[in-house]
Copies of this chain bind each other. A is one copy, B any other.
Amino acid sequence: MTYDVFSLTCPTRQVISALSDKWVTLVLAALAEGPQRFSQLARRVEGVSQKMLTQTLRSLERDGFVSRTVTPSVPVRVDYELTELGTELRGIVLQLRAFAESRMDRIREAREDYDAAVA
C-alpha cells in the first residue's frame, strides 16, 4: 500500500494529526534529552497538567513512539523513554525547537509588519 498525507482518507492523516499537537511536540522534545520519570516530565514541560501529560504519554505509547517502564519499588517508579521508532522523530522535534528559539525575533517582526499593514 502507498500512503499519501494529501489524501483525505489516508491513515497517515491520523499520524500528522497526532504529531501536530503542542504537548506532543514538547513532551517529545523533553524525552529527546533522555529517559525521564513522569514527575520530571511534568516539571520540564512547564504548564502541562497531570491529565494532559498522562493523555499525551498514552497516545505516544500507543503509537509506539514512547515506552513506559514500571519499577515495582515503593513508591512505584515509572520511566518514559523514546523507542527506536520514536527516536526517528527526535531530529524533527529538535529542529522545530531550534527553529522556534532561534527565529522568534524574526517572527515577531513579521507579525508587527503584518499587523501594521492590515490595521
Contact = CB atoms under 8 A, between A and B. Distances in A.
A64 B109 contact: yes
Determine how many copies of this chain the complex contains. 2
B88 A103 contact: yes
A50 to B, nearest CB: 15
Interface of A: 3-8, 11-13, 15-17, 19-22, 24-26, 29-30, 44-47, 61-64, 85, 88-89, 91-92, 95-97, 99-104, 106-111, 113-115
A108 B85 CA distance: 12
A11 B103 CA distance: 11
Given A6-B44, A46-B7, A106 B92 contact: no
Contacts of A24: 20
